[in-house]
Structures are given as C-alpha cells and as structure tokens.
Structure 1
Amino acid sequence: MPHVFRPEHAARLLAEERERLLPPDRIIDALEMQGHEDVVDIGAGPGFFALPMARRTKGTVYAVDLSKEMLAMLGERAAQAGLTHVQALEAPADRLPLPAESVDRALMAFVLHEVPDRIAALGEVRRVLRPGGRFLLLEWDKRPMEMGPPVNERLSLDDCEEALKAAGFRVLHRVFPNDVHYGVLAER
C-alpha cells in the first residue's frame, strides 16, 4: 500500500517554500474559474489550494480529505480568513460524498499516487463533475529527487493521461508548474 501523507507533517504543506514551488493562484489559473463555480479539492489537507480557490469563487468549495486533523486545520484557517463557503468533508478519494454532477471544477493535487484504487477515484471525480467540468490532476515527476514520495510510488505523466482517458475524461493539456511536478487538465 502506498504511503499516505501524515497530519503531523501538515506544516510542510503550508510552508513558504511550497508556496514558491507551487504558487496556488498560478496553479488555480489552469482551472479557468469565472467566480461562480462549485469546486471540489480532493485530498485538501489544511487547505493549501482549497482556500485560494474559495477566494476566487462564490460557489461552494468542498474540501475532501481522509484526515480529521487536516480538515480541522482547514476549518480553522477558513474561519480565520472569513471564508464561509468552504465545506470540509471526511472521505476517501474513491468515495466522494457528493451528488452526481454537483461541481464545476475539481482538483486532486499529489493524491492519486496514494490511492489504492486509482480508476475508482478518477471515476468518482468524473461522476461529481458537471458536463464540461474541468479537472486538474497534479502529481510528482517520476524520477529520483530529494523530496516527495518514493519513486516507485509515483505515476508517470503518460500513465496519468491514460488513466484519465480510461475514466472517460478528455485530456486538454499538460501543466508544468515547476521542474519536479506536472499536471494534466482534463474535461468531463
């Protein structure tokens, strides 16, 4: 079973170094949000992407994570920022607690490599997206480096694109936020 990021390391997810490496607003730009979308952040952790998304939409931002501790941190951060339209949901990526066709945008950042049933997880994202909805999948480049999960747990860019297509997505384009991560923007 792949290693899952642990709540006691949450500070790493909010560090300035991570913000420099993965500027949330630049990443979110790829989703082409217009200010009214309902959004789901799968594996939201303490809200590194969920809170910036909430600043860019009047719709509901569903922050899904396995960890009660991470969601509690996210809730505190959202309250401090006055973001009342963020809803924290405890659930695994392959069983999203949302109705079918309930969101316009979805983000899954550095989570898919941790999910035992990747096809089910991608199917869930497709299920909750409205027709024409956009999905940004971010992952670690599959090569040795000093940070990130073990190389044998990482997914190649080609493997992610193939999995997205197999789940019924149309791949739009690739996103390269830095030299250690990649993203794939897809549409339902």
Structure 2
Amino acid sequence: MKYLNYFLILFLFTVNFYCSYAQNISPEEVKNAEYTYKTPDGDGTGKVYMGREIASLMSFHGKSWLERASRSKEENTELAISNLPVTPSSVVADIGAGSGFYTFRIAPVVPEGKVYAVEIQDNAIQYLKERSKESGQNNVEVVKGNEKSPNLPANTIDLVIMVDVYHELLYPREMLQEIKKALKPDGKLLLIEYRGEDPKLAIKKLHKMTVEQINKELSANGFHLVKNGQFMNIQHFLVFEKQ
C-alpha cells in the first residue's frame, strides 16, 4: 500500500507537470511543431515543411550567376515583367532581391510607385544601395528583412514577387503570414520557381518546385492561386491572392 501511494503521488505530479507545461507552450513553439528535421540532403538544410526539405540559402557570392548575360533569354525575364499585375503607381516588393536583377527592371514599369528591394544578407544590402544610387532610380528602396519577416509596412504592397527564392525560406509559414500583413486587401503574391516537374531541367532538385507543392503550402497559409502562367521557358509564374 505504501508503494502504491508513492506511485500514485508520482503519477499525479507528472500529470500536473505536463498539464502546466502544455498551458505555457508559446505560440512560437506551436508553429515550430509544423517543421520536422532530418539528415540534410545535398544542398539542403535538413528542415522539412509539409513534406519538402528547405533548400540552403544561396550565398551572395553567387552574384555573377544572377547577373549572367544569358539569364534574360534563358528565363524570359522581359516576358515575366510584361505580365506583372501592376500599374504605373503600384508598390512592389522584391523579396530576396539578390543583385537586383528584377528590382531594377521593375522600377521603370512603376515610375509613380515604388519597389522595395528586400534582402537579409549584408553584402547584398550594400550592393543594392550602391546600385540604386548609381542607377538614379529614386523609386527603389532597400530594406533589410530577416528570416521570418520582410519588414515591410502593413497594408501597403500591391505586389510581392519572389524569384527563385521561396524554396530557400527557412521559415516559410512565418514569412507568408508577414507577407499577408504587408499586402493590400487586393494585393498579390507572385512566385517564380524552376519547374520541379521537369527532371531534365539542370537545376538542383531542392531548388525546383512543383505547382502541386507550392499550392499545398500557399493554400495552408491563406492564399489561393489565381494565375498559373506557363509561358516561361523553365519556370512557373504563379500569382496568388489572399483568401
């Protein structure tokens, strides 16, 4: 009987402890439960979101590849920009702007608006600021974001664009929620991603995405697909709106 009482007291203590712990779990801990972890694949982080391993972040040391002379032709850059859902007064955010390859091509399309060039790498931030000053494009503003937020003002953005960036977001759920806050009620999110459906496309596996996977993740975060433009050579052109 003495041992039974001992184990009963221990059991009740354990139950009370875990009940108390569960009540004090932070929202951040609950969100992070949506991520799982594994041994990283080549060029992967080992962090998994909705069945997809998040790719490692491309270093800004790869700037020359972003600015390669053949890129516009390979990726139909001009065609992509001509299909942007913008007006001359639109406010656009280029998240993961890198070298500004898209930023400084979009800026002339929105002469009465603005383009936020968002980056998290300090060397990219410095480069974008210098390039903005040299180009004389006064409607470009460089913003330092972080892994969970683009640090954009609420309810101000007409179009968020991410070009071959989404698959590298270390916190896709948190970033999408912050993007929703920054978008106007009728604002749009454009993802341009290399086609994961094409096994012959010579891009690393984790740096490609399928429409199915993108739609799965975006739908779970309150976005719905409004345009699936398959007019580009090797990339998807997917436009989303807030649900």
SS at match of 1:55: helix
* Structure with greater contact order relative to length (CA < 8 Å, sep ≥ 6): 1
Q: Against the structure 1 CA distance between its residues 146 and 174, is the aligned structure 2 distance closer, same or farther, given a 3 Å change threshold?
A: closer
Aligned to 1:17: 70
2:126 equivalent in structure 1: 72
Query: Under a length normalisation based on structure 2, what TM-score does the superposition of the two structures give?
Result: 0.71
**Structure 2 residue ranges without an equivalent (≥5):** 1-44, 46-54
Structure 1: give runs of 5+ residues left out of the alignment. none
Which one of the candidate residues 95, 109, 125 is aligned to 1:56? Answer: 109
Q: Which amino acid aligns with 2:185?
A: P
Residue equivalent to 1:110? 164
TM-score by structure 1 length? 0.90
1:130 positional shift? 0.1
- Structure exhibiting the larger radius of gyration computed from Cα positions: 2
Higher helix residue share: 2
Equivalent position to 1:165, from 219, 222, 236:
219
Give the conservation status (yes or no) of the 8 Å contact 2:189–2:239. Answer: yes
Percent identity, aligned pairs only, is 24
Distance in 1 (CA, whole Å) between partners of 2:144 and 2:231 is 28
Residues 24 and 48, structure 1, Cα contact 8 Å, conserved in 2: no
1:96 counterpart = 2:166: no
Shift in Å, 1:73: 2.0
Question: Could you report, residue by residue, the CA deviation over 1:130-178 in whole angstroms, capped at 9, with x for unpaired residues?
Answer: 0111211111212445643x31453321110122222212211112353
After TM superposition, give the deviation of residue 93 of structure 1 in Å: 5.2
Alpha-carbon displacement from aligned partner over 1:82-103 (angstroms, at most 9, x marks no partner) = 1012111121353121122111
Provide closer, same or farther for how the CA distance between residues 17 and 67 of structure 1 changes in structure 2, counting only shifts above 3 A: same
Q: Which moved more, 1:168-177 or 1:107-116?
A: 168-177
